[in-house]
Amino acid sequence: MRVTFVLPEVNLGGGIRVVVSHAERLARRGHRVVVVAGPNDRRSLLRRVKDVIRRRAPFRLARKSHFEGSPVDLRIVEHAPLVDADVPDADVVVATWWETAEWVAGLAPRKGTKCYFIQGDDAETPGQPYDRVRATWRMGMHKIAVAPWLVDRIRDESGDDVSLVLNGVDAGQFQAPTRGKQRRPTVGFVYQPLRIKGCDVILRALEIARRRVDELDVRAFGAQPSDPACPLPSWVRFTLRPPQSRIPSLYASCDAWLWGSRVEGFGLPLLEAMACRTPVIATPAGAAPSLLAGGGGRLVPPDDPEAMAQAIVEIVSADDAVWRDLSDRAYATASAHTAERAAERFEFALERAIAPLGLGRPAVPAPPAERAANHPPWWPRWAIPGGHAR
């Protein structure tokens, strides 16, 4: 197949990492893959200067991204929206964000069968136009979503069939040897100061847990420095933009990894931490309920610092044998969700989309373990993926 991915820009976001992963692996499987991206910064020069003065955004003409060092054919276009002249002819063209869905919808048929890779409900992202986002779901494109809750929501809105392709973790990068608990109780999290990421919940939980666990060590890493909207306390050992090669050791240095998101599409750091044998304490956002169904951590209610703190105390205070069982279960879950397997299922979904009328192949089947992990009817509402946001 000739496959084109269309991105709004390139950066260090988790959604971009997933696209890079699929693009690289599709190319290895013999497909011709091109990624076309819009400009990194569409703000005017005056707007960028004002944002720097207001501390809203750093001033930079280029951004680091997950494409650095990647063999993928990346083409950055210095204008938006993208038009036919910017996109090569292909068998399938894949929108990756609501805005790119609008661009792709206007492309000529020779640019390929139109697909829409949906990694979250963009309408829930602050500042995004709800009606325009929802309208893209109703466009006549074959849709691919990364989590069961998202599949259900898209189907409810559009009435269309949706292919489920769970994200996968790079098992070659994210790995760690079998180990016991840390000598000093240690927990970590990804620092993202946006409210939807639940940084405030994590920090309140840690304040509570530090009063109950002597010498609790707290580590974090993130793509931006401490923000006044959710400032990092002095007792958090923070690493700013660590090299990708160092991130697995950060995960593996912890007894538990914290995930406090209020809204999430999938949540790739969950799998990354589990692949490094670190149990996860997570709110029921994104794929957390499905991933934790195997027992590799604790699922806690959203917006409940006390519950998260209690889970921290339980895991870091557990007997070593109990902790090792949690660690083994986390690793087993990650091992069932590799990037190679995800790319294979993504390939299957694309092949299905380009078949006549999109009906040439059956829907991408969910493996038995994934079907079993879907939310049973007796779960509380907060434990249903996306249920707390409906």
Q: pLDDT tens digits, residue range 277-286?
A: 999 999 999 9
CATH H-level, domain 2-168+338-359: superfamily: Glycogen Phosphorylase B; (3.40.50.2000)
**Residue 234 is encoded by which pair of tokens?**
């002095």
**pLDDT at 318 exceeding the cut of 80:** yes
Least confident of 2-6, 35-39, 63-67, 290-294: 63-67
pLDDT band of residue 146 (cuts 50, 70, 90) is: very high
**pLDDT at 272 exceeding the cut of 80:** yes
**pLDDT at 376 exceeding the cut of 60:** no
Residue carrying structure tokens 């069932």: 336
Least confident of 48-62, 96-110, 128-142, 315-329: 48-62
* Interatomic CA distance for residues 68 and 51, integer angstroms: 26
Beta bridge partners, 257, equal 188, 280
pLDDT score for 126: 83
Task: Report domain extents, the chain.
Answer: 2-168+338-359, 186-335
pLDDT score for 45: 42
Least confident of 53-57, 121-125, 263-267: 53-57
pLDDT score for 58: 45
Q: pLDDT tens digits, residue range 175-204?
A: 999 999 999 999 999 999 989 999 999 999
| DSSP states along 139-205 | SSSEEEESSHHHHHHHHHHH---EEE----B-TTTS--------SS-EEEEE---SGGGTHHHHHHH
pLDDT score for 140: 87
- Environment class of 173 (CB within 10 Å of its CB; exposed 0-12, middle 13-18, buried 19+): middle
Q: pLDDT tens digits, residue range 94-115?
A: 999 999 999 999 999 999 999 9
pLDDT score for 355: 85
**Residue 264, C-beta contacts closer than 8 angstroms, at least 6 positions apart:** 120, 196, 285, 286, 287, 288
pLDDT score for 369: 41
pLDDT band of residue 12 (cuts 50, 70, 90) is: confident
Average pLDDT of the residues in 379-385: 37
* Interatomic CA distance for residues 288 and 301, integer angstroms: 12
Three-state DSSP state, 240: strand
**pLDDT at 353 exceeding the cut of 60:** yes
* Interatomic CA distance for residues 93 and 1, integer angstroms: 11
Beta bridge partners, 355, equal none
Residues 268/270/271/275 CA torsion (nearest 10 deg): 140
Contact present, 160 and 150 (Cβ < 8 Å): no
| Report for 64-68, 238-242, 356-360: range of highest mean pLDDT | 238-242
Q: Which of 52, 73, 67 is nearest to 12 (CA)?
A: 67
The full 3-state SS of 42-105, as one line of letters, equals CCCHHHHHHHHHCCCCCCCCCCCCCCCCCCCEEEECCCCCCCHHHCCCCCEEEECCHHHHHHHH
Where residue 193 falls (left for φ over 0; alpha for ψ -120 to 50; beta otherwise) is alpha
Residue-averaged pLDDT of the chain: 88
Average pLDDT of the residues in 39-44: 64
pLDDT score for 42: 53
Average pLDDT of the residues in 304-328: 98
Residue carrying structure tokens 């009906």: 359
Domain pair 2-168+338-359 / 186-335, same fold: yes
pLDDT band of residue 41 (cuts 50, 70, 90) is: low
* Angle, alpha carbons 262-268-271 (nearest 5°): 110
Where residue 143 falls (left for φ over 0; alpha for ψ -120 to 50; beta otherwise) is beta
Alpha helices in 175-292 (DSSP H): 199-212, 247-252, 268-275, 288-292
Three-state DSSP state, 308: helix
Contact present, 10 and 54 (Cβ < 8 Å): no
Class of domain 186-335: alpha beta
Contact present, 270 and 282 (Cβ < 8 Å): yes
